[in-house]
Structure 1
């Protein structure tokens, strides 16, 4: 028998052997823990249930405290109202002013209060002065001076809560040195509305609330069925007790602002489930644990395959272009070595890509410098100066003007071979270019400049605006068939950016043309070249934006990051 079992075990795959060994090692502790949990579950459930009851009672107490505090604030807003203080102290020279305040101020105010808060049933001022009684709003204190609540209220300060044929709160008006009488405000509250949250929160428990005199001021339906006696409630101690012949648990909680006490009684049958329920719960837990263990064992048996799957996922991410990952394994086995070598290869690949990117930038800059130095600047300036001298000598001032402008155009454009120039020089360059074109076209179109001088503090790459202006004149203004052409050049600061705009009122272009204009290389130093230089210098987020309305206008915008001149 032993040899048969040994032979069967040897024929199993390693993954299956690992699965069985883990299962045997873990099954025994789970069974021991299951038996122990069965012995302890009833006690633990009782403790948790009582803690849950205490939390619910705390919630009930906080709910009542919140409602009481709201009404305390309401009644305090009344007693500290200057007009109400004036009414109850009868601080009037004649009854006309008193009647006016009663009708025009007191009655609307109290009506508004009752309408806004449906839980307020009545608000009455009881005064010891000779103020005439006014409906139920102002009454003489003589009517209630023999009531016990009135005597208690006169001996205490602040808001006082009482329960006599209903729930109400009383507060005295402040007395000043010249006052001989004590006046108070009486506000009756609908106790069903006040304790509505208690009914909702304690629908499964027996709850009663008693005041400081031991009178039950509230009990829910469950408590009423148990016919709780007020004296019996006060004598009860927290913990286990007998109520109506059934074992129950009692939890007490004081309401902070009123002196009331909350009594919550829960039958033991609701706290402690029967033994069958405990057994069922234990079996379910054991079954769930076994299921979880089986899943964990299966996961551990697949550990080696999972690491290969992870390496495959990383390779797929690299395949779709995510080359910035940092891959490294702390494992010393063959799969760990393969993972680390793949990570090293990825780092080297990124280095080669960065090197290629830098070489492309150098190549573009070299091509641009070759374009700049196709003409000898000194020879060009000397020639232009000679032409200007000849023109002035011949009094050909228009020729002198265009030669001077052309000289300024090349001086700001060449800029001693620097690629990064001040924004001021780039704007001067495009102004010179547009001036030359206007002279050549006999000022057949207009140009406006809206330049925020704050942009002069920053730098840009050169030769980015002149191709935009050339495109606007050539493909926009020159093709305009009606009206006079208008070219607008704008420069302003954005959010950490510098924004350039070239706009014309030409014939515009269709939307599909505007989308593909950057993909077409025109003759000379065109828009595509400018777009590539912007992206090479500042990144792919910076490029030329084109907005055009066919038959109306075209707007081209360049946004670059702010770089302060050094």
Structure 2
């Protein structure tokens, strides 16, 4: 047999189901929002990187063009006859040397290019003079310029980069040069150096031509490019900074590992904080590097993301508020209805239905449930009244069975006693008979006090002892605090009658009947014990008390008592029999104690003994 599938969601409360619904609705939205923003950010990074890579190549082309212009100027200067005549020679007179110096100084000054409103790319010519033939030349050029002119040096003060330029064999190169003899520049500057060979003698080097102040010219090229909070660097193949937008020259640029080693001409790398874009000049082999901070680049995208998140959060809050409204409108009445259904017990008063005028299904359901509860209460009340009337009818029938039987036996006793004795005894018997009649009738009441019931039983015992001259003893052990308890009338007399007839009638003075009334086990226990010697069929007694139909041959007195007690107080109470300690039998009647008396009753109640 297949096991039926059970939906696990139905095991949750409605509030938990609602929370689960909210989570299921919000989680995909939050995930998709975050995923979309991540993809958009990645795509934006790639597009910006490609755009800056193209811009980098164009900017590098402009810088290469400027460097090439300087190289062409140098070629023109190198080919000038004045440059070719600057080889130091002892054959020249001092006046000839001075004339050459002044003419070349003016030539170099004339080729200076203006940059940024007057700053010039200055050209200087460094000549190796091991014999110090031009010692008379001042260190500062005659034109007054501090950056262009002719400089002679010997082995003692030869610049470190001179031999490097010579090894290039006439090829120009960019290099960062520190201050030179306090006449060049107070700080590092970017220069373009190129060895000058003697045209007529081939490999014979005349000197080195130096173009200074190139950092300002390249800075002008950097100024044409706008990178928000970014940095631009021009580096040599070893990563040394030749020019930068906002960094000192000559330092080492820290680049990603992917930029090191044999690099392609154009390359881009995205790190966690920056985007690095690089292009390499195929001629000069220097690298132009853009360092772009992601935070600045993504500022607008971040603002857009913030707007999107704000709209999303506002939508979520609006959705939650809307759901809470429907929750309060729909689920709160349903929760109240569920609480009413759980707490409602048939027969209890039904509270007034909510006064909300609802025309929807919820309103129909709520009013239907309350109306159904009220109709159920009416049915229960009618059934209760019917049961009461039925019990009253049953009790009346039982009482009508008892009264004729009792009256017959009593009148017979009075008859026999009056025949055998004088009028005095008869009067006493009539007196006891009147007590019996008075308590039996009890003005139509079905419940009497325990004290009245004991008085009734005592009158019956007196009549029986006077009638038959019985000499058996009767002892009473009564808790006086229980005398006010309510009991069904005529429950002791039939039990005492059975004890006399079936127990002690023929025992003379040895016969004893003990009647006790005590509080034990949360109820009133009435015990009628005899010490008779006859064997008792307890199974027959059980059938008589609890059988569906009584046995007329066994009598109906004790069955009548048992049924009346259960009709009045319920199935937890009634009559049963117990075997005596040595012989005889004990009839035990269990009766409830009223709640107000039960609260006052203690286990150490005072017990007073009566003898009769």
| TM-score interval, smaller chain | 0.3 to 0.5
Q: Which is greater in Rg?
A: 2
By percentage of residues, which structure has more helix? Answer: 1
The one of the two structures with greater contact order (alpha-carbon pairs below 8 A, sep at least 6) is: 1
Q: Give the alignment's TM-score, normalised by structure 1.
A: 0.36
Q: Give the alignment's TM-score, normalised by structure 2.
A: 0.34
